[in-house]
Structures are given as C-alpha cells and as structure tokens.
Amino acid sequence: MNARHVLRFLTTRVATVVLVLAVVSFLTYAVFVLLPANPAAAACGKPCTPERLATAQAFMGLDKGPLQQWWDFVVGIFTGRTFGTGAAAIHCPAPCLGYSFQLREPVTTLIAARFPVTASIAIGAAILWLVIGVFAGTVAAVRRGTALDRGLMVAAVTGVSAPSYLVGLLGILLFGFTLDMVPVSGYVPFATSPVDWAWHLVLPWCVLALLSAAIYARLTRAQMIEALGSDYARTARAKGLPERRVVTRHALRNVTIPIITLFGLDLGVLLGGAVITEKVFSMPGMGALLLDAVSTTDLPLVVGITVFSAALIVVANLVVDLVYGVLDPRVRA
Amino acid sequence: MTLDHADELVAAPSSPGAARPARRETWWRVLRRDRFAFTGLLVVVGYVVVALTAPLFLGWLGVDPYTYHLDALDENGAPAGWGGGISAEHWFGVEPLTGRDLFAIVVMGSRASLAVGLGATAVAVLVGATLGVLAGYAGGWVDVLVSRIVDVLLGFPALVFMIALGAIIPLRFPHSPRILILVLVIGLFGWTSIARVVRAQSLTLRSLGFVRASRGLGAGSGHIVLRHVLPNLAATVVVFATISVPGAIGSEAALSFLGVGVQPPTPSWGRSIGDAVTWFSSDPMYLVFPGLALFGITLAFNAFGDGLRDALDPRAVRR
C-alpha cells in the first residue's frame, strides 16, 4: 500500500461523510421545521399579538424560507450565529448546533454537559460486549458440541430476546435493592471520583453489553468454526503449533474482520441502547436531554441532538472503516 | 451461450410448480423436527390467537383493562395484598395508582405489540424487497442510489430519530392513530437489511441460466421479475420477515417504554414496564408480568425464525 492509495481512500471516505451529514441534517431540518409546532409561538407569551409573534419569529430566524433556515444552521456550526440585533441579541458561538430558547442556552453547551454520561455508558459497554461476545463465541467454537457450547448458545438466544431495560430493571432489583451491592441510579463524573464513576456504571455496562454480546457470540462461533476448519488452520497445526496458538493467532485474526463490520453497523444500536439505559438508571445523559426536549417540544434542541448523534455515528463509522483497513490488507488494495 | 451453462438450464427450477410440493414437505419436516423452533411457532400462534380474541376472551372472563379498582389499592396507591394484589379476581394483580386489572392489560397489550410488530415488518419487507429487486435487477445508477441510502440508514441512530419522530408527528397529525405512526416509523427504518439481502440475491439470479434463457426467448423485465426472480426470493424474504418481527416488537416496546410510543389508556407492555420503573422496588410483579409477556413473544419469534432459516435456506448449516 502506498501513500497515494491511502490518500485516495481517505478523501473518498471523508467526502462521503460530509455528503451524508449534509443530507442527514437537511432531512432532519426539513422534517422538524415543516411541522406546525412553532417555537416562536411558545416563546411569544400571552397574549400573543401577531406583531409579537412576527418579532419572535424574526428573532429566531424562523421567518426565512426552509432552505435558508437549514443553510443558516449549517453555517452556524462553523462560524457561530447571532439571534436578533442590538442589546437583546443572543450569540451562539461556533460550533453552534442551534439555540434552545426554552432553556436559554446554546444546544452545543447543553449537549456538551450531558455527552460524557452517554459516552461513558456507550464506550464501556462496547468494550465489554466485544470482549464477552468474542470470548464466549470462541469458547463455544473450540468446545463445539459439548454441553458448554449448547449452554452458551441457549444463553445467547435468550440474551438476544430480552429487552435491555427489562434486564436492567431486574438487575437493579437483584444487585441494587436485594443484595445492596451496587448503586441503583445516578452518575458521578470521572473527574470527581474515578472509582465512584465506575461503580455507578458497572450495572449499566453489564446490562447493555450482555444483550449485544449474545449476537456477537453467535457470529464469532460460526466464523470461528469455519476458520478452524480452513486450510491455513490445518497448515498451522501441521507445522506443530499448539491448538491454543492456532486459535488465538491464526483463526481469531480472521474472525475479527466480520466482527468489526458488524460493530460498525451496530454503533447506532449502541447509542439507542445508551438512551434506554440512561432512562432505566436515571442518568442525566444525552438521551435524557432528548426525552426532555421532546416532552417540552423544544424543537431546536431536538434537531441539534438528532444531527449531533447522526454526526457521531457517521464519524465513528469512519474510524471503524480505518481500523478495518489496518486489520484486513485486502481492502487496502 | 457456452456448453458449461447447459446443465444450469436444465437443472434450474425454471418451472417452480413441478418441484414445489416436494420442497414444501421437506422444509415443513425439517421445521417439525426442530423442537426449539416448533415450540416457538406454537407460542407465536398462541399469542396471535390471544391477541385476535382478546376482547371476547376478557369479556367472557368479566375483566377489562380500563376499569379502575381503587378498592384493590392500599393508602399509598400500591396494590394491596401479596404479589401486587394477586387474587382470584385479579390473576396478575392490579396496576398501582389505578387498580386496573393487570391480566387484562397484559392480554390486551399483545394487540399493540403484534399489530406494530407485524405491521412494521410488512412495511419493511414491502419497501426493502421492492428496492432490493430494483437495485439488484436494474443495476446502474438505481443500484448505486439504493445502496448508498442503505449504507447511510444501516449505521443510523434509528432510535434517536424514532424518539424525535414519534413525539413530533402527532403534533402535525393530532388525530392519526398512534399505532399507524409507529408502524410507519419503525417500518421505514427497518427495511435496509432486507433490501441488502434481496439485492444480492437478485444480482445472482439475474445472471443464472434460466433467467438468461427466459430473456433470450424474448421475455420482458416485468415477466422475468414476477415469474422468475420473485418466486426464487420468496424463501429468503419469508425468513427475513420472521427474523425482523422481534426487532419491530422490541422497537415498539422501547418507544412506549420511553413514553413516545403507544399512549394511555391503550395497553402496551413497553409502557407498563416504563411505568413500573417507579414502582418495582415495592411492586415487582407490575414489572414481571408485562416483561415476561414481551420476552416470551420475542424469544418465540427468534426461535421460530432461526428454525425457519435452517429449514428454508439451503446454504444454512443444518443443526
């Protein structure tokens, strides 16, 4: 692989990302802006005279056409925006994802305050689910046909079928209330106390991870069985390598590739799962912010969070693609 | 056409009618032997029967999910008595605060779950199969366009979008039924994997001998798609639809759990579980019964779907 190939690979991928983000933000904007729930009407107060409504709309930039509104939004991400003029003007510094007139805060600030919670849940759970899934799948494949294999696979089907919030609540009931081992709700920032941070996240991580791990265990098992029966595995055995080394060095590396592909597709699921987990464990993350914004019809906040999550997934997918390129020499050609 | 393809022309199921009875019997026998999958099928049929006959069944028992029974509650609003108020009158106990019969709520809840699960899957299959065949068979820019859309949607934070849409569409269409909104929103986010598989298979089918022969004999694209491509895709689509149902059921429950799905007083398992969050330290049964109902249908569909795949998909490894 030479530098020109890398550059071309990167340029195409980044161009796709930018295109996807533009389309996603436009669609989000179109769906939400074309709705009759007018944020200006909510901010206008009572009695709401037509003049006051018009002033509020102009202040929020809602008097322009839909395309112009979207463009203002996109430009605001890079340059910041100012709503209104004169003494009453509100400045929303770049990267501006909109302004919540109900909470009187830029959407970016609101998201930044909540995002560490969601990221803590999602990243910890993702690591745990990949480790457990690949490990369980490998064990089942190596011990194929034994009671251990059957037990793991029955557990996997059960895991796939159980909704995460249900398992989460039962987990709280058992480990939180009955055994009094872990905290049942809340979040402690990492900076305050790393130990308390992890202690509060143990149960959410396990709940979110175990359910998705089930799918990965099944995939790993199937792939591993195929890999262990392949010619290169036989060659490795023939040259006298112990089975353990054949599994870890030769088979596992090939199994990683479909796992990473699936993981890239599951990033959205991971984020959705984090939203549900936040609700179960009463954690003040981005999902909780979204649910609040939805119940108060805070449209700029809803749009901002939606576009931000889409961007997050698209960028994370780009990272997964790059990792993929490192792992699998064939895609680099 | 070279000679290598001659056997393909003969062996390919160009007249599906002749080969069909034997094949149907085979997959049914395979499924019948798979005890796990067959139990799943029986459970699914049981849920469907309960959902269809729920009002009659509950009327016959003399309970309904809407009547308040405040006499069944204690002074805190929690169900009075053991196990969330389980009694001869209220088999699963009652709902906290309202005293509505939990058995009736769980039984009626199957309707929302199955309606959204099956409805959304139908939407997803319709959209996914149509676009998949279109992309695979037509190729060219259609294929590029569909494949791009699929790529974008596949990695999407669908739940975040569904939360936003589930909350905002009712503002625009206040009188539209919530179930229909859920069917459309979940269905329109769920068609991508079906489209991908169908596209890949159409691509293969397009180059097979019997399709090429048909084209060579002067058949139009419409005829080929309807008579040759679609019949050969049927097994894949059926398997995928079955595997998709639990996901759609789970989405409905998740959205209702988060408070943006089925609205009260229509019973929904997801919403009951969501309501149970504040009660489950004192009344765990309020969580357990709707939870078990939801878990049961999802597990049954997954087991049945897995078995059906093994039975119908010739490439899948038989257990």
pLDDT digits (tens, 9 = 90+) for A37-88: 566 666 666 667 777 777 777 777 776 777 777 888 888 888 877 777 666 7
Q: Say if B88 falls within a structural domain.
A: yes
Query: Looking at the complex, does the CB of residue A115 fall below 8 Å from at least one CB of chain B?
Result: no
- Show Cβ contacts of residue A82 under 8 Å, excluding neighbours closer than 6 positions: A89, A90, A91, A92
Contact A313 B164 (CB under 8 A): no
Alpha helices in B84-177 (DSSP H): 102-133, 140-154, 158-172
The pLDDT tens digits for B5-14 are 444 343 444 4
Asked if B159 is an interface residue toward chain A (Cβ–Cβ < 8 A), one would say yes
Range of the domain at B221: 18-312
- Kindly state whether residue B2 falls inside one of the protein's structural domains: no
Chain B residues within 8 A of A294 when measuring between CB atoms: 163-164, 167-168, 260
Residue B18 has pLDDT above 60, yes or no: no
**SS3 category, A214:** helix
DSSP string, A41-104: HHHH-SS--HHHHHHHHHHHTTTS-HHHHHHHHHHHHHH-EEESSGGG-EEE-SS---EETTTT
Q: Which of B150, B152, B173, B251 to mutate to test the interface with A (most CBs of A within 10 A)?
A: B152
- Confidence bin at B120 (pLDDT 50/70/90): very high
For the cut 90, the answer to whether the pLDDT of residue B124 exceeds it is: yes
- Residue with token string 């790059």: A322
pLDDT at B17: 43
| Within-domain flag for B145 | yes
Q: Compute the average pLDDT of residues B235-247.
A: 86
pTM, two decimal places: 0.81
CB-CB under 8 Å, B291 with A166: yes
| Residue B208 pLDDT level (bands cut at 50, 70, 90) | confident
Question: Is the residue at A75 inside a domain?
Answer: no
* Residue A274, domain CATH: 1.10.3720.10
Residue B8 forms part of a structural domain: no
Q: Based on the structure, what is the number of domains in chain B?
A: 1
At residue A327, the pLDDT reads 73
Residue B1 pLDDT exceeds 70: no
For residues A321-332, give the mean pLDDT.
70
Give the Cα separation of B110 and B95 in Å (integer).
Answer: 17
pLDDT at position B20: 47
Whether residue A212 contacts residue A270, with contact meaning beta carbons closer than 8 Å, is answered with: yes
What is this model's ipTM?
A: 0.77
**A157 located within any domain:** yes
Residue B124, domain member (yes or no): yes
Res. B125: pLDDT tops 90? yes
What is the rounded distance in angstroms from the CA atom of residue A236 to the CA atom of residue A243? Answer: 9
Q: What is the pLDDT of residue A193?
A: 76
Q: Do the Cβ atoms of B295 and A163 come within 8 Å?
A: yes
With a pLDDT cut of 70, the percent of chain B lying above it is: 87
Residue B9 in any domain: the answer is no
B258 with A162: Cβ contact below 8 A: no
Strand, coil or helix: B101: strand
Separation in Å, CA of B96 to nearest CA in chain A: 17
Read off the pLDDT of residues A141-151 as tens digits, 9 standing for 90 and up: 888 878 888 88
Count CB-CB contacts under 10 A for residue A226: 15
CATH code of the domain covering residue B156? 1.10.3720.10
Domain region containing A264 = 113-295
* Predicted local distance difference test score (pLDDT) of residue B127: 93
Whether A162 sits inside 8 A of B246 (CB atoms) is no
Percentages (nearest 5) of helix, strand, coil residues in chain B? 75, 0, 25
Question: What residues of B are in contact with residue A275 (Cβ under 8 Å)?
Answer: 159-160, 163, 258
Is the residue at B188 inside a domain? yes
Q: Determine the 3-state secondary structure of B20 from DSSP.
A: helix
Distance between CA atoms of A41 and A299, rounded to whole angstroms?
12
Domain count, chain A: 1
- Region B123-147 average pLDDT: 88
Give CB contacts under 8 A, 24+ apart, made by B271-274. Answer: B272/B95, B272/B105, B272/B106, B272/B109, B273/A163, B273/A165, B273/A166, B273/A169, B274/A165, B274/A279
Average pLDDT in chain B: 78
Nearest to B51 by CA among B93, B108, B6: B108
pLDDT of the residue at B83: 67
Domain for residue A173, yes or no? Answer: yes
CA–CA gap between residue B44 and residue B47 (Å, rounded): 5
Cβ distance of B298 and A275 shorter than 8 Å:
no
